[in-house]
Amino acid sequence: MSKPEPTTSFVPSTLYTIGEAADILGISIPTIRMYEREGLIIPYRKNSKHRRFGQSDIERIRCVRNLINHDKVSIAGIRRLLSLIPCWSIKNCPAEERAKCDAFVEHDKSCWMVSNKSWLCRSAECRECTVYIEIASCKTLKETIAKFTTREMVENPVVIESCEL
């Protein structure tokens, strides 16, 4: 069964072609494709495989550009930041599922880029996942990481044993 093609009839001008997105952002089309290859964005795909970008994609790319150009964060660094999004907490994954999921175990890829996912995510479309949708801007990325890491630190404090030098 094929996926339905995204349409702009329900909200005019909300989906842009890759060329339009590049023009809006003032970047090249190959740069947008590279961000996709690196797992930083997941564009909508028509049945024809053409990419379409919504306003949240534009915001996400602006965030990536800001991190690269102003904060001097590398693409690998951005992937690392995205890997810190605690998707297991956001989606309330049970502990036994977390242990089997690479998004919980590994720390070098965002949850939408790992291949070994929890049963909750295996059949889901990452583009439509709450975790991906809600982390569209630098502000929400920062707030989400802060919110969930603070909560997890309170609920599961890390004890560091002291050592004598």
Go through the domains of the chain in sequence order and give each one's CATH number: 18-152 (1.10.1660)
More confident residue, 108 or 81: 81
> Does position 42 have pLDDT exceeding 80, yes or no?
yes
Contacts of 32 (CB under 8 A, 6+ apart): 18, 21, 22, 25, 41, 51, 53, 61
The whole-number pLDDT of residue 65 equals: 95
pTM above 0.75, yes or no: no
More confident residue, 65 or 79: 65
Highest mean pLDDT out of 15-29, 82-96, 115-129:
15-29
Nearest to 76 by CA among 27, 43, 33, 39: 39
The whole-number pLDDT of residue 17 equals: 93
pLDDT digits (tens, 9 = 90+) for 76-103: 998 888 888 888 888 888 888 888 888 8
What Å distances lie between residue 120 and 82, 87, 95, 101, 125, CA to CA? 19, 11, 13, 10, 11
The whole-number pLDDT of residue 162 equals: 45
Name the 3-class secondary structure at 16: strand
The whole-number pLDDT of residue 38 equals: 92
The whole-number pLDDT of residue 29 equals: 97
pLDDT band (50, 70, 90) for residue 160: very low
